[in-house]
Structure formats: structure tokens, C-alpha cells
Amino acid sequence: MPSAPLPRFYRFVTPLISRLHRHLAYDAPETPDYGFAGRADTIDLTIDEFPSAVMHYPIVFGGGDAPRPMVLTGQPGSQRNQFVDAQGAWRPGAYVPAYVRRYPFLLARLDPELDEMSLCFDGACPWLSDRDEGNLFGEDDNPSETTRQILEFCQSFEAAVRRTRGFMEELAELDLLVDLRLDDGAGGRIAVPGYSMVDEERLRQLRAEPLRKLMSTGAQGAIFAHLFSLRHLGQAFPAPTSDPADEG
């Protein structure tokens, strides 16, 4: 049975176990280093983050048959994050998505038959090493305060992911998504394969009951934030000059 693909940015997902990692310490850079996300032209986003992200990024939907929210951090397909500089610093003042901030930790389901998720880390991350102080576990093998904070953040992130799945189910049920299109600079629009957006005309045509449901779940506010965020498209993220299928 093939193993599941690793989450983006992670090279070796390792369960954090007290008896094996009692000397492991997390020594994050004093100045956050986001160099690992420097080639990411999209970053996954949860619905909870829409109010923060809308001020800085286009919020679109991608992921093929199971679309999910994400921010465009660079021109689609460019493999360049315009918000990360050569030193690994994120653009000052811009919101850093939680998916990036949780690295090198995450919650993962080690047994697909169980719902339980375990705190794990990227074993290839240089910020984690064995030493005699600042360990992730105390002498009694109980989690340190740092570990408890990391776990709490990851748990909050997973809860937001679940809420986001519910939001995406609502969009699918109402058939509101259409292919994302960018201005081509000549008065026309060009489709961006693999990405989608909410169609405003379909939204306007919804009947009263679906609209009330969107309002009661908070989905309507997220939709408006998504639509408002698309103003960041255009000059900042111009459409490709040619169809990728025509290249090479």
C-alpha cells in the first residue's frame, strides 16, 4: 500500500515521543526564517484567517477535485513567493499564514483507522537538536511549556481546518465555484488552470433559504472576503503570457 504524500515543506514527519526525544530541543531562529517557503507561490489558508489575509493576498481555491482555500503569494506556476526575501524574511507587515507558522510541527494521524492525531515534527529541520537545556520534555518526561504551546497552536489549526472543510462543502453544494480568470492586460481574461473562485452571478441568483444558511454559518462573510481579496490580482499577479500546455 503506497504511503501518503508528505505535507508541503515537510521532509521527514516524525512522531514526538517523550522516551525517544527527552533531550530534543527546539531552537527557532531569533528572526523568523521562512526560507523553506520561498518557492511556494500558494499557501493553504483556513477560513478563520480570511479577515487577516484579505488585506494582503488574493484568496483563491485550488487542489483539483477537492478544492481548498489558499493565498497567492506569487504568480501562479512561478514557484516564487514574492513575500519571502533572499534572507528568508517575510514581507514586513504582511500576514503570515498559520500553515507556515506551525512549521516544523504538525498534528498527524499515525493510524488511518483511528481518529487520534499525534504531535509530530520534521526530522530534517535544523532548528531541532539534542542538547542539555531548553528541551521539549522535562526530567519527568512531561511536555515543557514550549511543547504545550506548540500543541495548542497545532490543535487550533486542525480545528480551523475542519471548519474550512465545512465551508468548502457549502460552496460545493451550492455550485458557486468557477475557474479563476486573470486580466490579460489587453481587456480580456485568461483562465488559470487548477484554481477557482466564487462566481458573483451565481451568488446573486441564490434563493433566500441558501443565503440565510450562508449567513448563519458565517460562510457569507468568508465569501465576501474572498471576492474582495481578488482586487490584489492583476498588476501584482499578472496572468501568464501563454498557456502552459503550449510550452515546450
Q: Could you read off the pLDDT of 33-81 as tens digits, one per residue?
A: 999 999 999 999 999 999 999 999 999 999 777 899 999 999 888 899 9
Q: What single-letter amino acid sits at 243?
A: D
pLDDT for the residue numbered 154: 98
Residue 26 to residue 130: CA distance in whole angstroms: 9
C-alpha cell at 134: 531548553
Task: Spell out the long-range contacts of 133-142 with Cβ–Cβ below 8 A and sequence spacing 24 or more.
Answer: 133/25, 134/25, 134/26, 134/27, 135/22, 135/23, 135/24, 135/25, 136/16, 136/21, 136/24, 136/25, 136/26, 137/18, 137/21, 137/22, 137/24, 141/18, 141/19, 141/22, 142/18
C-alpha cell at 221: 462573510
The CA-atom distances, in angstroms, between 176 and each of 70, 101, 115, 171, 201 are 17, 30, 31, 6, 9
Q: What single-letter amino acid sits at 138?
A: G
Query: DSSP of 60-79, one letter per residue?
Result: EEESTTS-EEEEE-SSTTS-
Q: Could you read off the pLDDT of 140-156 as tens digits, one per residue?
A: 888 999 999 999 999 99
The sheet that has 68-72: what strands, in order across it? 42-44, 68-72, 59-62, 189-198, 177-183
Residue 27 to residue 24: CA distance in whole angstroms: 10
Q: What single-letter amino acid sits at 86?
A: A
pTM: 0.89
Whether the CB-CB separation of 74 and 56 falls below 8 Å is answered with no
pLDDT mean over 181-209: 84
Residue 143 to residue 149: CA distance in whole angstroms: 10
Q: Could you read off the pLDDT of 25-46 as tens digits, one per residue?
A: 999 888 999 999 999 999 999 9
pLDDT for the residue numbered 239: 55
Sign for the pseudo-dihedral over CA of 248, 241, 36, 50: negative
Neighbouring CB atoms inside 10 A of 188's CB total 10
pLDDT tier for residue 236 given thresholds of 50, 70 and 90: low
Whether the CB-CB separation of 25 and 136 falls below 8 Å is answered with yes
pLDDT above 90 for 1: no
Tracing cell 433559504 back to the chain, one arrives at 209
Cis upstream peptide for 5 (omega within 30°): no
pLDDT for the residue numbered 141: 85
pLDDT above 50 for 244: no
C-alpha cell at 176: 458557486
Q: Is 218 left (phi over 0), alpha (psi -120 to 50) or beta?
A: left
Residues 6+ apart with CB under 8 A from 71: 42, 43, 45, 53, 56, 57, 58, 59, 60, 97
